[in-house]
Structure 1
Amino acid sequence: MKMKSIVVFCASSFGNSPVYEAVATQVGQTFAQQGIQLVYGGGKVGLMGAVANGALAAGGEVIGVIPHFLNSKEREHTGVTKLIMVDTMHDRKRLMNEYAEGVIALPGGFGTLEELFEMITWGQLGLHRKPVGLLNTNGYYDHLIRFVEHMVNEGLLRQENRDMLLVADTIDELLDKMERYDAPLVPKWIQKDEV
């Protein structure tokens, strides 16, 4: 399925390596070139700003969603196609989810991980059937991927739920995986023998 709109979660800082900014910019450019609307956190700083600027510079459409209280911290991006102000972080995630057909996490900190895992959890619970992708730029998420495998090995995460998290090193490879994604038919809380 060719996606028309994808939400991107990422850092509001640049990190220590210039590769993170370069790849975030490339992601935005790729979205614009492929006609994918970017939905993101609405900031103009860090990787958030880079992905938005990449899309805008290439003629793409960008929707930013930012809570009022983050305006002074993340400094909302006034150049986006549409900027939506919300009251809470939960409102932000809910609205971003409504606008997007898929989810991608670029490198980021606690906020990025919280957003990523909430979206994958919603998918696991059958609240949506969207692909959720992890762009493993420069091996940034290698340790997290190993930990997720550890969760499976310890019997605390089902393999079919682990497989819901799509991982790739390049945006083209990740988009290809997302377009071919089929969500599990049985939500987590329903046992297979109940279906």
Structure 2
Amino acid sequence: MSKKILVYCGSSKGHNEIYEQEAKRLVHALKRYDCELIFGAGSVGIMGVLADEYLKIGGHCVGVIPSFMEPWEVKHTGIQECFITESMHARKQLMANRADGVIALPGGFGTLDELFEMLTWKQLDLHQMPISILNTNGYYDHLLAQMQHMVDEGFLKVPNLEALQVEQDPDVLIDWMMAYEPEKMEKKWIYRG
């Protein structure tokens, strides 16, 4: 397992300080393996917390931001590398192309969009990266229940749901990711019934 880890997360910090605290714990876990952090290049919210803390402990940060966001002045100016893309689609593609693994922290629509796109791509065998959720404070419990409902109702295959690793402890999550071996995805569209 290489060590270029893509982290999706919120541009807000949320109402509970635990989200910020666990994001900091995550980057300390990444630093144990001297990982490269790939993220959305923001200086605000959990994105900013991740980058600030990782820079503080000597980590390497790579940001990717679409050009239309630059005037908003949210781009982190202290990171080692920052790529500017022409669109959100290009941003997501570049981030995925650089990554060896994916982690979703608490976030909003953008975080879910990115997470589900990577899960879809994995289901289609477009990549074999580990995909995980850091389920801080049970943030994703309702979403995980919905995913199980999708399995129960026959819209999602069990092996494809099981390809999503869910952890509450950042150290356990990063240890799992570093030891990851790709699983076989089930191509649901070739099965009937």
CA-to-aligned-CA distance 1:22-67 (integer Å, 9 cap, x gap): 1112222322232000000000000000011111111000000000
Query: For structure 1, which segment, 69-78 or 129-138, has the greater mean C-alpha deviation from structure 2 after superposition?
Result: 69-78
CA-to-aligned-CA distance 1:68-114 (integer Å, 9 cap, x gap): 11123361001001011111011111111111100000000000000
Give the superposition deviation at 1:187. 5.2
1:1-195 → structure 2 map (5 Å cutoff)? 1=1, 3-73=2-72, 75-186=74-185, 188=187, 191=190
Write the distance in 1 (CA, Å) between the matches of 2:108 and 2:189. Answer: 32
Write the distance in 2 (CA, Å) between the matches of 1:87 and 1:44. Answer: 20
Write the distance in 2 (CA, Å) between the matches of 1:81 and 1:29. Answer: 18
Write the distance in 2 (CA, Å) between the matches of 1:146 and 1:187. Answer: 21
Give the structure, 1 or 2, with the largest relative contact order (CA under 8 Å, sep 6 or more).
2
Query: Percentage identity across aligned positions?
Result: 46
Query: For structure 1, which segment, 158-167 or 18-27, has the greater mean C-alpha deviation from structure 2 after superposition?
Result: 18-27
Query: Given that residues 122 and 185 in structure 2 are in contact (C-alpha distance below 8 angstroms), is that contact kept between their aligned partners in structure 1?
Result: no
Query: For structure 1, which segment, 95-104 or 174-183, has the greater mean C-alpha deviation from structure 2 after superposition?
Result: 174-183
- Local SS of the residue matching 1:118: helix
Write the distance in 1 (CA, Å) between the matches of 2:51 and 2:28. Answer: 9
Query: Given that residues 30 and 55 in structure 1 are in contact (C-alpha distance below 8 angstroms), is that contact kept between their aligned partners in structure 2?
Result: no
Listed as ranges, the gaps of 5+ residues in structure 1 are: none
Write the distance in 1 (CA, Å) between the matches of 2:140 and 2:73. Answer: 24
What TM-score, normalized by structure 2, do the two folds share? 0.93
Inter-CA distance 74–92: structure 2 relative to 1 (3 Å threshold)? farther
Write the distance in 1 (CA, Å) between the matches of 2:25 and 2:66. Answer: 26
What TM-score, normalized by structure 1, do the two folds share? 0.92
Write the distance in 2 (CA, Å) between the matches of 1:153 and 1:98. Answer: 33
Write the distance in 2 (CA, Å) between the matches of 1:156 and 1:180. Answer: 30
CA RMSD of aligned residues (A): 1.7
- Local SS of the residue matching 2:38: strand
- Local SS of the residue matching 1:129: coil
Inter-CA distance 175–86: structure 2 relative to 1 (3 Å threshold)? same
Inter-CA distance 160–74: structure 2 relative to 1 (3 Å threshold)? farther
